[in-house]
Amino acid sequence: MRGKIFIITLVVFFCLNVTAQRFNGFSNNIDDYIANLEELYKTDANMKKEQKKDWETLMLQYDSVWNTFSSSHKKDVLKLSQLMLKKNIRARNGFYDFLLTQIAFTSSNQSQESYNQWLKGMYKYLSAHNIAIYNKAMETTYNLLAHNCLYLSKTTRWAFEEGASYIFREDTLRGVYADFSSPININYSSTSDANTIYNTVGRLYLMEENWEGNFGVVTWEKAGLNKDSVFVTLNKYNVALK
C-alpha cells in the first residue's frame, strides 16, 4: 500500500513539475525579453535536441542584435511576440524564423522606417488572420533579406541582383508588401526552365506570394534567339509565385 502511495506521489509531483516548466508568457518589461525567449525554447517539451542547439546558437546572435534596438522598437517586437504566442505560435514553429528575420533586417540596407512598417503591418495582419499565411510571409521576408529572392523553394527560384533597392509598406487590405520602385532584373529558374525579366519594377505582396510588375523585357537568348529581334515588352503583369 505504501508503495502505491509513493508511486502516486511521484506521478503527481512529475505532473506538477511539467506544468511548472511551461512558458506562461512574455513580460511587459522589455528588459525581460531575452530571458523570456530563453524560457520559451527551453520549456518546449516537443523540441528536439538538435533544435535546442540551433536555438542556443541563434540566441547568441540575437542578443547582440537586440541591444542595438531603440526602446520603441523593442516594444514593437515585444508586442508582436505577445500576439504570436497568443495565436499559438511556438519556438519551433515560428519564433525561430522571427528572430532570424530580425537579424537579417539588421544586416540589410533597409531603413528603420521600412522595418517599422513591416513590424506593424505583420502585427495588424496576424491580429485578424491565421498563422499559416503569417508564417509563410515571415519566410518570404527572410528570403528577400537574406537570399535576394522573391520566392524560393527546393525546385523554384525567383531572384534579383544583390544591392537592389526596395522598402516595405503596408496595404490595409492586402497586408505588407515589398515595393521595388527602381528597376531590377528578375531571374527565374526551375528544374526544367530558366529566364529573366529585365528592367522591371513592382510589388511583392508577402501574404499572397504574388508579384505585381510594371514594364520589363523578356528575351529568349538562352534558346539561341537574338535578343534584339525576338523579345516581349511587358506593361502590367502578374506572377503567382507559389
What's the rounded mean pLDDT across residues 53-66?
Answer: 95
* Higher pLDDT among residues 154 and 24, named by residue: 154
Contact 231, 217 (CB under 8 A): yes
Q: What percent of the chain has pLDDT over 70?
A: 91
Q: To 10 degrees, what angle do helices 131-147 and 112-128 make?
A: 160
The answer on pLDDT for 20 being more than 60 is no
The pLDDT of residue 24: 85
The answer on pLDDT for 173 being more than 60 is yes
The pLDDT of residue 146: 96
The answer on pLDDT for 66 being more than 70 is yes
The pLDDT of residue 218: 96
The pLDDT of residue 47: 86
Contact 176, 121 (CB under 8 A): yes
Residue for grid cell 533597409: 110
The pLDDT of residue 38: 95
Q: Whole-number mean pLDDT of the chain? A: 89
The answer on pLDDT for 15 being more than 80 is no
Contact 156, 117 (CB under 8 A): no
The pLDDT of residue 130: 84
The answer on pLDDT for 36 being more than 60 is yes
pLDDT digits (tens, 9 = 90+) for 147-162: 999 999 999 999 999 9
The answer on pLDDT for 5 being more than 80 is no
The pLDDT of residue 21: 64
